[in-house]
Structure 1
């Protein structure tokens, strides 16, 4: 008998949001792993908007971090003189309610110094940030540095929420979607750990949803928060429409084998796109790391056509293939993909989870 938890189908985002909010009635955290292109950002906005649109006690209740949060900041590059470059703040957003009164520089810098080596000053009269490094003022930081600065601003605001600042007393939930998209492994661990420590500190004040496609970040967060009441899911798109939520509370690394299940599904359907070679390469990389191999090709060592397979994976996984604009493979590459996938699974016997079929679920509403 298969005791694996059944995937749950949600035809639209509102029903999915209701499920997540129901989970938070009894749990402190909901942790979602999902690939890019699944609709994580749209879901975070739907979660935020749900409270505003409900009939009973409508109003904002969610402080969120996602791609839209970064849009609250924009550069003035001083094109006329090219000397006084500043990062402008959209002061009209509720996100910045307590900024001016509570002077956040000290809190922000306490986080920022862990990840970066530049300084900053906030001009509250003109709502802009001036960056500096050494003797240089009004510098333009890199995109990555800008993102980490905005993340530190968000963490500082979360601290105000936890401290029951009057400006943020409306916050009941925090929703965090892929906080930093381009981190190396060391910084991914540091960001995940720092976030988890903050959420532990605030567990009696706020409840939190975290969604991410970054497997290392997600695993660290799961391990840090596993002692507290939480729900853990793998979120993926239904083939036709809607989303599927698969509970993974007993399988913390579920998303790794879920990729294999997805690759088997496309192999059977014949709808194999170019980016699936990237996914297959990712599986081999993770497997080789687990076994301590120096190269992913050792995962297919001593099998027929290992040289051909290794070359194919090197060549066909290096293209910048997008899940947003899928391109179907040619028949020759489809056959090669199928042979490599089958050879890998013949050598390593993974117990693959059930992603489909799914069971519809009728969810309650708040």
Structure 2
């Protein structure tokens, strides 16, 4: 896309959609504050027709679908609230999402969770070992507050579980034709960045149902791993303000 200027983000989003007719994947590298999140929103909005949608997206707005209740009064029962009004959570109570997410999360983290689909809450726990030798025992600590990096991993694995349903052609997500992923690895170390990029690339390459994807990132290592894994199956662009 070097040397091509667009008057606004909707025009760029429309161009990306047309480019996806030629190759299934598009990789965008862009610095922070370039407009990647706004571009993902513009891309999604082009697929709106009334109540119909065609894009599953992951961006800062996705993370906002999860919000903490920190129990400031008692400092005991901490949990994540889910925004039940979002279509992102379609099929949550029917598709064994706990098991799907847990299989993915176990790749990256050592905490566990439960999803209450009647209260739209996620609670976290962790096993810890106390004592030594014959006196050692395992205790489960419930309602813990996980770190920001762990929270990002959980939300990312939640998204990946949904993405896998999309790629498998599950009925609840038949509306998805495009996937737009913007910067999924904030607050993560480089080891996790590489692991996440490899896993995402493998999922997309292995899919056979024609889902098309755009992935944008400011993280050089993450972007390079994706480029190396997806190779000639993807358009690769550098995005900057004033030109694209």
Superposed pair shares fold, TM > 0.5: yes
Shift of 1:227: 4.1
Corresponding residue of 1:125: 118
Asked if the contact 2:24/2:210 (under 8 Å) is kept, the reply is no
Asked if the contact 1:74/1:89 (under 8 Å) is kept, the reply is yes
SS state at 1:79 partner: coil
Q: 2:228 aligned with 1:232, yes or no?
A: no
Unaligned runs of 5+ in 1: 239-243, 246-366
Asked if the contact 1:28/1:203 (under 8 Å) is kept, the reply is no
Q: Which has the higher strand share?
A: 2
Corresponding residue of 2:136: none
Corresponding residue of 2:20: 24
Q: 1:129 to 1:119 in 2, by over 3 A?
A: same
Corresponding residue of 1:355: none
Asked if the contact 2:152/2:187 (under 8 Å) is kept, the reply is no
Deviations along 1:265-287, whole A, 9 cap, x unmatched?
xxxxxxxxxxxxxxxxxxxxxxx
Work out which of the residue numbers 187, 201, 214 in structure 2 matches 1:209.
214
Shift of 1:6: 4.7
Corresponding residue of 1:345: none
**In structure 2, distance between residues paired with 1:166 and 1:203:** 16
**In structure 2, distance between residues paired with 1:203 and 1:63:** 17
Corresponding residue of 1:13: 9
Which structure has more relative contact order (CA 8 Å, sep 6+)? It is 2
Matches within 5 A, 1:68-83: 68-83=61-76
Corresponding residue of 2:100: 107
Q: 1:6 to 1:47 in 2, by over 3 A?
A: closer
Work out which of the residue numbers 10, 33, 40 in structure 2 matches 1:37.
33
Shift of 1:98: 1.4
SS state at 1:175 partner: strand
Shift of 1:145: 0.5
SS state at 1:30 partner: strand
Deviations along 1:32-56, whole A, 9 cap, x unmatched?
0000010000000000011115xxx
Corresponding residue of 1:180: 185
Shift of 1:183: 2.1
Deviations along 1:90-136, whole A, 9 cap, x unmatched?
01100000111112111111111111110001111111001000110
Q: 2:204 aligned with 1:196, yes or no?
A: no
**In structure 2, distance between residues paired with 1:224 and 1:105:** 29
Runs of at least 4 residues of structure 1 off by over 4 A?
none
Matches within 5 A, 1:1-366: 6-52=2-48, 59-134=52-127, 135-228=140-233, 230-238=234-242, 244-245=243-244
Corresponding pairs, count: 232
SS state at 1:75 partner: strand
TM-score, with normalisation over the residues of structure 2?
A: 0.92
TM-score, with normalisation over the residues of structure 1?
A: 0.62
Deviations along 1:215-263, whole A, 9 cap, x unmatched?
00000001100142x211000001xxxxx22xxxxxxxxxxxxxxxxxx
SS state at 1:120 partner: strand
Corresponding residue of 1:350: none
Q: Which has the higher helix share?
A: 1
Deviations along 1:8-44, whole A, 9 cap, x unmatched?
0001111101100000111110100000010000000
